[in-house]
Amino acid sequence: MKNIIVGQSGGPTAVINSSVAGVYKKAKELGIDKVYGMVHGIEGFLKENIIDLGEYLDKDENYELLKRTPSAFLGSCRYKLPKIDGNEELYEKIFNILEKYKIDALFYIGGNDSMDTIKMLSDYAKEHHKPQLFMGIPKTIDNDLPITDHCPGYGSAAKYIATSIKEIIRDNSSFDKTRQTICVVEIMGRHAGWLTAAAALAKGEDCEGVDAIYLPEIDFDLDEFLTNVKSLIKKKASVVIAVSEGLKTSDGKFVCELGDEDRKVDSFGHKQLSGCAVTLANIIAKETGLKTRAIEFSTLQRAATHLASLTDINEAEMVGMKAVEEANNGKTGMMVIMQRNDNYQITTDTYDIHNIANVEKKVPLEWIDLDNNMMKEDFINYAKPLIMGELLPIFKNGLPTHLIRK
Ligand code: F6P
Protein backbone atom coordinates (compact mmCIF):
# COMPACT_ATOMS: atom_id res chain seq x y z
CA MET A 1 0.00 0.00 0.00
CA LYS A 2 1.32 3.46 -0.87
CA ASN A 3 -1.04 5.85 0.92
CA ILE A 4 -4.03 5.25 3.20
CA ILE A 5 -6.79 7.35 4.75
CA VAL A 6 -8.66 7.12 8.06
CA GLY A 7 -11.94 8.72 9.17
CA GLN A 8 -14.08 8.92 12.30
CA SER A 9 -17.87 8.73 12.30
CA GLY A 10 -20.83 8.80 14.70
CA GLY A 11 -20.77 9.77 18.38
CA PRO A 12 -17.23 10.24 19.70
CA THR A 13 -15.72 8.21 22.54
CA ALA A 14 -12.89 8.80 25.02
CA VAL A 15 -10.63 6.48 23.01
CA ILE A 16 -11.64 6.92 19.36
CA ASN A 17 -8.40 8.85 18.82
CA SER A 18 -6.36 5.89 20.06
CA SER A 19 -7.62 3.97 17.03
CA VAL A 20 -6.39 6.77 14.74
CA ALA A 21 -3.06 6.50 16.59
CA GLY A 22 -3.04 2.72 16.00
CA VAL A 23 -3.71 3.15 12.26
CA TYR A 24 -0.84 5.62 12.02
CA LYS A 25 1.57 3.49 14.04
CA LYS A 26 1.03 0.31 12.00
CA ALA A 27 1.17 2.26 8.71
CA LYS A 28 4.56 3.66 9.65
CA GLU A 29 5.80 0.20 10.73
CA LEU A 30 4.80 -1.09 7.29
CA GLY A 31 6.54 1.77 5.49
CA ILE A 32 3.33 3.32 4.12
CA ASP A 33 4.07 6.72 2.67
CA LYS A 34 1.19 9.02 3.65
CA VAL A 35 -1.54 8.53 6.23
CA TYR A 36 -4.34 10.94 5.44
CA GLY A 37 -7.22 11.85 7.73
CA MET A 38 -10.69 12.79 6.49
CA VAL A 39 -12.06 15.78 8.37
CA HIS A 40 -15.67 15.07 9.45
CA GLY A 41 -15.76 11.57 8.06
CA ILE A 42 -17.03 10.65 4.63
CA GLU A 43 -19.00 13.90 4.46
CA GLY A 44 -15.79 15.93 4.71
CA PHE A 45 -14.01 13.53 2.35
CA LEU A 46 -16.59 14.30 -0.33
CA LYS A 47 -15.56 17.95 -0.01
CA GLU A 48 -11.88 16.89 -0.14
CA ASN A 49 -11.46 18.02 3.42
CA ILE A 50 -8.34 15.93 3.95
CA ILE A 51 -5.27 16.37 6.15
CA ASP A 52 -1.87 14.69 6.31
CA LEU A 53 -1.71 13.03 9.73
CA GLY A 54 2.08 12.93 9.53
CA GLU A 55 2.12 16.66 10.17
CA TYR A 56 0.80 15.93 13.66
CA LEU A 57 1.84 12.42 14.56
CA ASP A 58 5.47 12.34 13.48
CA LYS A 59 6.26 13.81 16.90
CA ASP A 60 6.16 11.15 19.66
CA GLU A 61 4.75 13.61 22.19
CA ASN A 62 1.80 14.36 19.89
CA TYR A 63 1.11 10.64 19.48
CA GLU A 64 0.87 10.31 23.28
CA LEU A 65 -1.25 13.45 23.50
CA LEU A 66 -3.67 12.14 20.84
CA LYS A 67 -4.36 9.07 22.99
CA ARG A 68 -5.31 11.43 25.84
CA THR A 69 -7.52 13.68 23.67
CA PRO A 70 -11.31 13.29 23.88
CA SER A 71 -13.78 13.63 21.00
CA ALA A 72 -12.95 12.90 17.37
CA PHE A 73 -9.60 14.57 16.57
CA LEU A 74 -10.45 14.44 12.87
CA GLY A 75 -14.03 15.57 13.37
CA SER A 76 -17.02 13.29 12.94
CA CYS A 77 -20.26 13.12 10.95
CA ARG A 78 -23.54 11.25 10.92
CA TYR A 79 -23.89 10.66 7.20
CA LYS A 80 -25.29 7.61 5.48
CA LEU A 81 -24.23 6.89 1.89
CA PRO A 82 -27.27 6.47 -0.36
CA LYS A 83 -28.02 3.19 -2.16
CA ILE A 84 -25.68 2.55 -5.09
CA ASP A 85 -28.38 2.28 -7.77
CA GLY A 86 -29.02 5.75 -9.17
CA ASN A 87 -26.17 7.33 -7.16
CA GLU A 88 -23.20 6.10 -9.21
CA GLU A 89 -22.01 9.69 -9.68
CA LEU A 90 -21.50 10.13 -5.95
CA TYR A 91 -19.65 6.82 -5.66
CA GLU A 92 -17.46 7.65 -8.67
CA LYS A 93 -16.63 10.96 -7.00
CA ILE A 94 -15.38 9.08 -3.92
CA PHE A 95 -13.21 6.76 -6.02
CA ASN A 96 -11.88 9.68 -8.06
CA ILE A 97 -10.73 11.38 -4.86
CA LEU A 98 -9.11 8.13 -3.71
CA GLU A 99 -7.28 7.89 -7.06
CA LYS A 100 -6.26 11.55 -6.98
CA TYR A 101 -4.49 11.08 -3.63
CA LYS A 102 -3.24 7.58 -4.61
CA ILE A 103 -5.04 6.09 -1.63
CA ASP A 104 -5.05 2.29 -1.59
CA ALA A 105 -7.07 1.69 1.58
CA LEU A 106 -9.75 3.52 3.54
CA PHE A 107 -10.30 2.90 7.27
CA TYR A 108 -13.48 4.04 9.02
CA ILE A 109 -13.80 4.11 12.80
CA GLY A 110 -17.43 3.90 13.90
CA GLY A 111 -20.48 2.03 15.15
CA ASN A 112 -23.17 0.03 13.35
CA ASP A 113 -24.48 2.90 11.23
CA SER A 114 -20.97 3.99 10.26
CA MET A 115 -20.04 0.44 9.25
CA ASP A 116 -22.66 0.81 6.52
CA THR A 117 -20.21 3.18 4.79
CA ILE A 118 -17.60 0.40 4.64
CA LYS A 119 -20.22 -2.04 3.38
CA MET A 120 -21.39 0.30 0.60
CA LEU A 121 -17.88 1.28 -0.52
CA SER A 122 -16.54 -2.28 -0.53
CA ASP A 123 -19.66 -3.48 -2.41
CA TYR A 124 -19.23 -0.73 -4.99
CA ALA A 125 -15.51 -1.51 -5.38
CA LYS A 126 -16.33 -5.20 -5.95
CA GLU A 127 -19.10 -4.48 -8.48
CA HIS A 128 -16.99 -1.97 -10.41
CA HIS A 129 -13.62 -3.77 -10.15
CA LYS A 130 -11.95 -1.00 -8.15
CA PRO A 131 -8.68 -1.95 -6.43
CA GLN A 132 -9.08 0.08 -3.21
CA LEU A 133 -9.57 -1.71 0.12
CA PHE A 134 -12.07 -0.79 2.88
CA MET A 135 -11.81 -1.76 6.53
CA GLY A 136 -14.03 -0.98 9.53
CA ILE A 137 -12.61 -0.27 12.97
CA PRO A 138 -15.11 -0.75 15.81
CA LYS A 139 -16.03 2.11 18.12
CA THR A 140 -19.04 2.96 20.20
CA ILE A 141 -19.83 3.73 23.81
CA ASP A 142 -23.13 1.91 23.17
CA ASN A 143 -21.25 -1.44 22.88
CA ASP A 144 -23.90 -2.66 20.48
CA LEU A 145 -21.82 -3.86 17.51
CA PRO A 146 -22.45 -7.55 16.88
CA ILE A 147 -19.82 -10.35 16.61
CA THR A 148 -17.07 -8.48 18.50
CA ASP A 149 -16.87 -9.30 22.24
CA HIS A 150 -17.11 -5.60 23.03
CA CYS A 151 -16.44 -2.23 21.41
CA PRO A 152 -13.63 0.23 22.08
CA GLY A 153 -15.09 3.26 23.84
CA TYR A 154 -17.47 1.25 25.99
CA GLY A 155 -14.98 0.41 28.78
CA SER A 156 -14.05 4.05 29.34
CA ALA A 157 -17.66 5.27 29.35
CA ALA A 158 -18.53 2.42 31.74
CA LYS A 159 -15.65 3.44 34.03
CA TYR A 160 -16.85 7.05 34.06
CA ILE A 161 -20.43 5.99 34.77
CA ALA A 162 -19.53 3.60 37.61
CA THR A 163 -17.20 6.21 39.15
CA SER A 164 -19.77 9.01 38.93
CA ILE A 165 -22.52 6.78 40.30
CA LYS A 166 -20.30 6.01 43.31
CA GLU A 167 -19.81 9.73 43.87
CA ILE A 168 -23.53 10.46 43.48
CA ILE A 169 -24.42 7.74 45.99
CA ARG A 170 -21.95 9.21 48.54
CA ASP A 171 -23.36 12.70 48.03
CA ASN A 172 -26.96 11.56 48.21
CA SER A 173 -26.27 9.69 51.44
CA SER A 174 -25.11 12.86 53.23
CA PHE A 175 -28.48 13.66 54.74
CA ASP A 176 -30.91 11.66 56.83
CA LYS A 177 -34.52 10.81 55.96
CA THR A 178 -35.73 14.32 56.83
CA ARG A 179 -34.03 15.53 53.65
CA GLN A 180 -34.62 12.51 51.48
CA THR A 181 -33.67 12.97 47.80
CA ILE A 182 -34.32 10.59 44.94
CA CYS A 183 -31.76 10.77 42.14
CA VAL A 184 -32.61 9.55 38.68
CA VAL A 185 -29.50 9.21 36.54
CA GLU A 186 -29.87 9.07 32.76
CA ILE A 187 -27.32 7.14 30.75
CA MET A 188 -26.76 6.98 26.96
CA GLY A 189 -26.88 3.89 24.79
CA ARG A 190 -29.89 4.49 22.57
CA HIS A 191 -31.54 1.08 22.07
CA ALA A 192 -29.05 -1.07 23.98
CA GLY A 193 -28.60 -1.09 27.75
CA TRP A 194 -24.89 -1.95 28.00
CA LEU A 195 -23.93 1.49 29.31
CA THR A 196 -26.81 1.80 31.76
CA ALA A 197 -25.95 -1.67 33.05
CA ALA A 198 -22.47 -0.33 33.87
CA ALA A 199 -24.08 1.53 36.79
CA ALA A 200 -24.06 -1.88 38.51
CA LEU A 201 -20.24 -1.77 38.59
CA ALA A 202 -20.39 0.95 41.28
CA LYS A 203 -21.25 -1.60 43.97
CA GLY A 204 -18.34 -2.72 46.14
CA GLU A 205 -16.89 -2.76 49.66
CA ASP A 206 -17.22 1.02 49.94
CA CYS A 207 -20.48 1.47 48.04
CA GLU A 208 -23.92 -0.07 48.42
CA GLY A 209 -24.60 0.40 44.69
CA VAL A 210 -27.58 1.79 42.80
CA ASP A 211 -31.08 0.87 43.94
CA ALA A 212 -32.49 -0.03 40.54
CA ILE A 213 -31.46 -0.16 36.90
CA TYR A 214 -33.88 0.22 33.98
CA LEU A 215 -32.67 -0.95 30.55
CA PRO A 216 -34.27 -0.39 27.13
CA GLU A 217 -34.26 -4.16 26.53
CA ILE A 218 -37.28 -4.35 28.88
CA ASP A 219 -40.58 -2.53 28.19
CA PHE A 220 -40.91 0.27 30.71
CA ASP A 221 -43.97 0.11 32.97
CA LEU A 222 -44.59 3.39 34.81
CA ASP A 223 -46.84 1.81 37.46
CA GLU A 224 -44.27 -0.86 38.29
CA PHE A 225 -41.56 1.84 38.43
CA LEU A 226 -43.55 3.99 40.87
CA THR A 227 -44.39 1.00 43.07
CA ASN A 228 -40.68 0.16 43.22
CA VAL A 229 -39.71 3.78 44.02
CA LYS A 230 -42.31 4.01 46.80
CA SER A 231 -41.07 0.78 48.35
CA LEU A 232 -37.44 1.96 48.17
CA ILE A 233 -38.15 5.32 49.86
CA LYS A 234 -39.79 3.52 52.78
CA LYS A 235 -36.64 1.46 53.34
CA LYS A 236 -33.83 3.95 52.57
CA ALA A 237 -32.90 7.60 53.04
CA SER A 238 -30.94 7.75 49.78
CA VAL A 239 -32.35 6.35 46.56
CA VAL A 240 -30.36 6.39 43.32
CA ILE A 241 -31.83 4.90 40.14
CA ALA A 242 -30.10 4.44 36.77
CA VAL A 243 -32.25 4.72 33.65
CA SER A 244 -31.42 4.39 29.97
CA GLU A 245 -32.10 7.34 27.67
CA GLY A 246 -33.81 4.82 25.36
CA LEU A 247 -36.49 3.51 27.75
CA LYS A 248 -39.70 2.75 25.87
CA THR A 249 -43.18 1.79 27.00
CA SER A 250 -44.82 -1.34 25.56
CA ASP A 251 -46.65 0.78 22.96
CA GLY A 252 -43.29 1.94 21.57
CA LYS A 253 -43.24 5.45 23.03
CA PHE A 254 -39.91 6.76 24.41
CA VAL A 255 -40.21 7.73 28.09
CA CYS A 256 -38.35 10.95 27.30
CA GLU A 257 -41.16 11.79 24.86
CA LEU A 258 -43.91 11.51 27.45
CA GLY A 259 -43.92 15.25 27.92
CA ASP A 260 -42.62 16.29 24.48
CA GLU A 261 -43.49 14.49 21.24
CA ASP A 262 -41.60 16.71 18.83
CA ARG A 263 -38.12 15.18 18.62
CA LYS A 264 -35.37 15.95 16.10
CA VAL A 265 -34.21 13.03 13.93
CA ASP A 266 -30.59 12.72 12.68
CA SER A 267 -29.56 11.54 9.20
CA PHE A 268 -29.24 7.95 10.44
CA GLY A 269 -32.96 8.25 11.29
CA HIS A 270 -32.43 8.25 15.09
CA LYS A 271 -34.53 10.45 17.35
CA GLN A 272 -32.61 12.68 19.71
CA LEU A 273 -33.02 11.00 23.09
CA SER A 274 -32.64 12.97 26.26
CA GLY A 275 -34.91 14.05 29.05
CA CYS A 276 -35.86 10.61 30.37
CA ALA A 277 -34.46 11.35 33.86
CA VAL A 278 -36.16 14.77 34.06
CA THR A 279 -39.48 13.24 33.02
CA LEU A 280 -39.26 10.46 35.62
CA ALA A 281 -37.92 12.72 38.39
CA ASN A 282 -40.87 15.08 37.85
CA ILE A 283 -43.35 12.21 37.98
CA ILE A 284 -41.78 10.90 41.21
CA ALA A 285 -41.83 14.37 42.80
CA LYS A 286 -45.51 14.74 41.92
CA GLU A 287 -46.41 11.29 43.24
CA THR A 288 -44.38 11.35 46.46
CA GLY A 289 -43.90 15.04 47.28
CA LEU A 290 -40.21 14.29 47.85
CA LYS A 291 -37.21 16.15 46.52
CA THR A 292 -35.86 14.63 43.31
CA ARG A 293 -32.81 15.27 41.21
CA ALA A 294 -32.41 14.39 37.53
CA ILE A 295 -28.81 13.86 36.45
CA GLU A 296 -28.04 13.41 32.76
CA PHE A 297 -24.46 12.29 32.09
CA SER A 298 -24.93 13.30 28.46
CA THR A 299 -21.70 14.26 26.67
CA LEU A 300 -19.58 13.80 29.81
CA GLN A 301 -19.80 9.99 29.68
CA ARG A 302 -18.22 9.77 26.23
CA ALA A 303 -15.74 12.65 26.57
CA ALA A 304 -14.13 11.81 29.91
CA THR A 305 -10.65 10.91 28.68
CA HIS A 306 -9.25 11.98 32.07
CA LEU A 307 -10.86 8.83 33.47
CA ALA A 308 -10.42 6.53 30.46
CA SER A 309 -9.71 2.85 30.95
CA LEU A 310 -6.16 1.93 29.96
CA THR A 311 -7.46 -1.45 28.78
CA ASP A 312 -9.84 0.42 26.46
CA ILE A 313 -7.13 2.78 25.18
CA ASN A 314 -4.79 -0.12 24.42
CA GLU A 315 -7.53 -2.10 22.68
CA ALA A 316 -8.62 0.90 20.60
CA GLU A 317 -5.02 1.29 19.43
CA MET A 318 -4.76 -2.46 18.81
CA VAL A 319 -7.87 -2.65 16.55
CA GLY A 320 -6.56 0.31 14.54
CA MET A 321 -3.25 -1.48 14.03
CA LYS A 322 -4.96 -4.74 13.13
CA ALA A 323 -7.10 -3.08 10.45
CA VAL A 324 -4.01 -1.74 8.66
CA GLU A 325 -2.19 -5.06 9.00
CA GLU A 326 -5.12 -6.95 7.45
CA ALA A 327 -5.64 -4.46 4.63
CA ASN A 328 -1.94 -4.85 3.90
CA ASN A 329 -2.65 -8.58 3.57
CA GLY A 330 -5.30 -7.70 0.96
CA LYS A 331 -8.44 -7.94 3.11
CA THR A 332 -11.42 -5.67 2.37
CA GLY A 333 -15.10 -5.35 3.34
CA MET A 334 -14.34 -6.43 6.90
CA MET A 335 -14.44 -5.02 10.42
CA VAL A 336 -11.91 -5.87 13.11
CA ILE A 337 -13.41 -7.84 15.99
CA MET A 338 -12.13 -8.75 19.47
CA GLN A 339 -12.45 -12.11 21.19
CA ARG A 340 -11.59 -12.95 24.82
CA ASN A 341 -10.56 -16.13 26.61
CA ASP A 342 -11.36 -16.99 30.25
CA ASN A 343 -8.34 -15.03 31.51
CA TYR A 344 -9.39 -11.94 29.58
CA GLN A 345 -6.67 -12.24 26.97
CA ILE A 346 -7.88 -10.45 23.87
CA THR A 347 -7.20 -11.62 20.34
CA THR A 348 -8.28 -9.79 17.20
CA ASP A 349 -9.70 -11.07 13.95
CA THR A 350 -11.77 -9.68 11.05
CA TYR A 351 -15.38 -10.35 10.09
CA ASP A 352 -17.55 -9.77 7.03
CA ILE A 353 -19.02 -6.27 7.23
CA HIS A 354 -22.37 -7.48 5.84
CA ASN A 355 -23.06 -9.27 9.13
CA ILE A 356 -22.18 -6.17 11.16
CA ALA A 357 -23.43 -2.97 9.47
CA ASN A 358 -26.76 -1.71 10.85
CA VAL A 359 -27.09 -4.62 13.33
CA GLU A 360 -27.53 -3.81 17.06
CA LYS A 361 -26.43 -6.21 19.81
CA LYS A 362 -28.56 -5.98 22.95
CA VAL A 363 -27.81 -7.01 26.54
CA PRO A 364 -28.73 -10.72 26.90
CA LEU A 365 -32.01 -10.96 28.82
CA GLU A 366 -30.58 -13.72 31.03
CA TRP A 367 -28.06 -11.17 32.42
CA ILE A 368 -30.89 -8.99 33.78
CA ASP A 369 -32.34 -9.66 37.24
CA LEU A 370 -35.93 -8.70 36.43
CA ASP A 371 -37.24 -9.26 39.98
CA ASN A 372 -34.85 -6.70 41.47
CA ASN A 373 -34.26 -4.40 38.48
CA MET A 374 -30.56 -5.18 38.73
CA MET A 375 -27.75 -6.81 36.71
CA LYS A 376 -26.70 -10.39 37.36
CA GLU A 377 -23.15 -11.54 38.09
CA ASP A 378 -22.68 -12.62 34.44
CA PHE A 379 -22.80 -8.99 33.39
CA ILE A 380 -20.40 -7.88 36.15
CA ASN A 381 -17.91 -10.58 35.11
CA TYR A 382 -18.22 -9.47 31.48
CA ALA A 383 -17.81 -5.72 32.11
CA LYS A 384 -15.28 -5.56 34.96
CA PRO A 385 -12.11 -6.30 32.95
CA LEU A 386 -13.01 -3.56 30.46
CA ILE A 387 -12.63 -0.72 32.97
CA MET A 388 -9.22 -1.72 34.30
CA GLY A 389 -6.20 0.60 34.34
CA GLU A 390 -5.66 4.33 33.95
CA LEU A 391 -3.59 6.58 31.70
CA LEU A 392 -3.00 9.89 33.41
CA PRO A 393 -3.60 13.05 31.36
CA ILE A 394 -0.67 15.36 30.73
CA PHE A 395 -1.53 18.35 32.92
CA LYS A 396 -0.62 21.96 32.16
CA ASN A 397 -1.71 24.85 34.39
CA GLY A 398 -3.82 22.40 36.37
CA LEU A 399 -5.76 21.10 33.35
CA PRO A 400 -5.36 18.11 31.00
CA THR A 401 -3.87 19.09 27.61
CA HIS A 402 -5.25 17.89 24.26
CA LEU A 403 -4.04 17.64 20.67
CA ILE A 404 -6.02 20.03 18.49
CA ARG A 405 -6.36 20.09 14.69
CA LYS A 406 -5.05 23.35 13.22
O1 F6P B 1 -24.06 6.61 19.18
C2 F6P B 1 -23.45 6.97 20.37
C3 F6P B 1 -24.30 7.93 21.15
O4 F6P B 1 -23.47 8.49 22.12
C5 F6P B 1 -25.56 7.33 21.74
O6 F6P B 1 -25.36 6.67 22.96
C7 F6P B 1 -26.44 8.53 21.89
O8 F6P B 1 -27.81 8.21 21.88
C9 F6P B 1 -26.08 9.33 20.69
O10 F6P B 1 -24.76 9.01 20.36
C11 F6P B 1 -26.22 10.80 20.87
O12 F6P B 1 -25.91 11.40 19.69
P13 F6P B 1 -25.73 12.98 19.49
O14 F6P B 1 -24.57 13.38 20.33
O15 F6P B 1 -25.47 13.11 18.03
O16 F6P B 1 -26.98 13.60 19.96
Per-residue pLDDT reduced to its tens digit, 304-337? 999 999 999 999 999 999 999 999 999 999 999 9
Q: What is the pLDDT of residue 258?
A: 81
Share of the chain above pLDDT 70, in %: 98
In this structure, the residues whose C-beta lies within 6 A of any atom of ligand 1 are 10-11, 111, 140-142, 188-190, 245, 272-273, 302
Top mutation candidate among 77, 139, 142 for ligand 1, by most atoms within 8 Å of CB: 142
- Provide the CA 370 distance to its chain's centre, in angstroms: 25
Cα 298 to middle of ligand 1, angstroms: 9
Residue 260 reports pLDDT greater than 80:
no
Count Cβ atoms below 10 Å from residue 127 Cβ, excluding itself. 11
Crossing angle for the helix pair 88-100 and 112-127, nearest 10 degrees? 90
Label residues 322-348 b or e (16+ Cβ within 10 Å = b).
bbbbbbbeebbbbbbbbeeeeeeebeb
Cα 189 to middle of ligand 1, angstroms: 7
The three-state secondary structure class of 321 is helix
What pLDDT, in 10s, does the model give residues 17-72?
A: 999 999 999 999 999 999 999 999 999 999 999 999 999 999 999 999 999 999 99
Mean per-residue pLDDT, 137-165: 98
Q: What is the pLDDT of residue 256?
A: 87
Contact of 139 with 153, CB cutoff 8 Å = yes
Check residue 364 and report its DSSP letter.
P
Taking all residues of the chain, what is their mean pLDDT, rounded to a whole number?
96
Q: What is the pLDDT of residue 244?
A: 98
Top mutation candidate among 8, 40, 190, 271 for ligand 1, by most atoms within 8 Å of CB: 190
- Which residue, judged by its Cα, is nearest atom 14 of ligand 1? 11
Q: What is the pLDDT of residue 262?
A: 62
Crossing angle for the helix pair 222-235 and 276-288, nearest 10 degrees? 60
Q: Which pTM value belongs to this model?
A: 0.96
Contact of 181 with 291, CB cutoff 8 Å = yes
Among 104, 116, 142, 211, the one annotated catalytic: 142
Contact of 303 with 12, CB cutoff 8 Å = yes
Going by C-beta distance under 8 Å and a sequence separation of 6 or more, which residues neighbour residue 167? none
Ligand 1 atom index nearest CA of 246: 8
Cα 27 to middle of ligand 1, angstroms: 30
142 an active-site residue?
Answer: yes
Q: How confident is the model at residue 212 (pLDDT cuts 50, 70, 90)?
A: very high
- Provide the CA 59 distance to its chain's centre, in angstroms: 28
Report DSSP letters for 93-156, one per residue. HHHHHHHHTTEEEEEEEE-HHHHHHHHHHHHHHHHTT---EEEEEE--TT---SSSSS-TTHHH
First to last CA, the chain: 27
